[in-house]
Structures are given as C-alpha cells and as structure tokens.
Amino acid sequence: MRTQMVEYVHKLQDEICSAISQIDNNLYREDEWEREEGGGGRSRVFANGEVFEKAGVNVSVVHGTLSPEAAEKMGGGHQLKGQDLEFFATGISLVLHPKNPMAPTVHANYRYFERGLGEKEGSWWFGGGADLTPSYLFENDAVHFHQVHKDACDRHTVGNYNKFKQWCDDYFFIKHRGERRGVGGIFFDDVRTDDKQECFEFIKDCGDNFLNAYMPILERRMNLQFTEQNKIWQQIRRGRYVEFNLVYDRGTKFGLTTNGRIESILMSLPQTGRWEYCHEAESGSEEEKLLHVLRKPVDWLVS
C-alpha cells in the first residue's frame, strides 16, 4: 500500500499541475526536499499567473518517530496511547488561490498513515477531502462541487457523503469568527476497513475527480468583471483563510511538530490578505449573502 499510494500521489500531482499550466499559461517552481528525520517531498508552486495569484501542489513521503504531542494531533480513532511512535505518512496537498474574486479558492488533500508496521488494530488509515472557499456565492458552483464528491462517495462502501459533508462543515470552522472557512465539500479521517484496497480505491476516486469538481467552476468565473471593492472583500476573506490555517488546522500543527519543511507547510497561505478593523458587510449585499451560508451551512444537494 505504501508503494501504491506514493506512486498515485505523484501521478495526481503531475496531472493537476499540467491542468493548471494549461489554463494559466504559467510554469511552477519545483523543490525536491529531504527531511532530516526521514523522507522528503516534491513541492510545486505557481505564483503571479494570469489566473492564479498563487497555487501550490505538494507531495510528501515522510517517516520517523513521533513525539507524543504530534501523535495526539493526528486525532481520529487511531491513537495508540503512546505505542508505536514510529510512523510513515504520504499524501498530496493542494491549495489554489485565483486572482479573480469571483473565482473560488479550493483546497484538497489525500493521505495515508501507518504507525509502527501498520499491523495492529487502528495502526493504519486514510484521510483527506476537498473544500471550496468562495469570496462571492454562486449556488450552482457549490452544488456542482458537492455533487461530484457525493458521486465519488456513492461509488464506494467506505464513502459516506452525508457524514463527510457534516465533518467538513464542522472541521473548517473558525470558532472565534463564528463562521466556516467556505461552503464545504467532504472531509474525513480514520478511513479503514478489513479491505485496505477498497479504502485506497475510494481515495483514488476522490483524487481523480478533483479536476472535474473544480475546473468547470474556475472556467465559469475566472474572466468575470469585478471592482476594486470586490477585490478588497476577497482579501478580507483570505485573511479568514489565514486565521483558520494558522490557528486551527491540524495538518499545519502536525507539520510544525514533526519538523516539516516550513515553506511547504505554509504553502497553503495566500499571497496576500487583508485585516480591516471591525469590518462589516453591508446589509443586503452579496458579501452578506456569503456570510449567511458561512454561519449556517447549507445542504446543497437537497432538491
């Protein structure tokens, strides 16, 4: 499984970077890096393109010894109470921040972990998901994104769209703001059954459909007209993105507590952001419309 997953995430990274290059007419910077404690990765970052202000697609394959603190931050039902602190982890993580405020940011990651030799109960698992973060709400975009992921879930016995959608809404919650980071998608951890291959096939199906979920949305929005005020609002929303990633994101905390590569860990942050003192959206505005669904998540697939 280690070999299958490592080969898959590198292949998926190639496919997604190729799609970005074609739509943005831009080249990425690639850094292959090694981690002193074991393993390494391949980071690819696009910057200042025609479509994307910043887009990063990272792959990592790391191993070593966890501190008890890092093991605890993994969460889920696979905490082995201080046992088997040797670990292996591989996955792909990406965040795409478009220039146009009408086009949404998107995030996805898919990963595989083992503790020890991965032979004990609860010592291996898959995790991941994908979520959409618009600055302006287009309901058909949210419906499309959720439908693609529901279809992937429905094709596998380990997939549970309703559970994973709720998990996403709960996880990407900026507690101190009382709002979600975006309009959600799916998020899951601790996916494991007696059939490891079936779990992998589910992860692969989700990853293979990332471009189907996001690119039609991007193509609809990336050339829309916008004003300076629209751009300011986008920067404020990106500030919220930063707040979540630095304060709450478990992946960020895991990377920092396992001596991960800082540039790759913080790749998810936007190129620019904005924090205005006591900023409030105008009543009845498109900005307020977005805030309503961030504060009270919507079931996008109810007919």
As annotated, the active-site residues are 107
CA torsion sign for 190, 194, 200, 206 is: negative
3-class state of residue 48 by DSSP: coil
Residue 40 CA to residue 42 CA, distance in Å, equals: 7
Give the C-alpha separation, 221 to 100, whole Å.
8
Strand order in the sheet with 39-47: 29-34, 39-47, 52-65, 86-98, 105-115, 124-133, 184-191
**Please, is 232 exposed, middle or buried when counting C-beta atoms within 10 Å of its C-beta (0-12, 13-18, 19+)?**
middle
Tell how strand 173-174 and strand 179-180 pair up: antiparallel
The backbone region for 272, taken as left when phi is positive above 0, alpha when psi lies in -120 to 50, beta otherwise, is beta
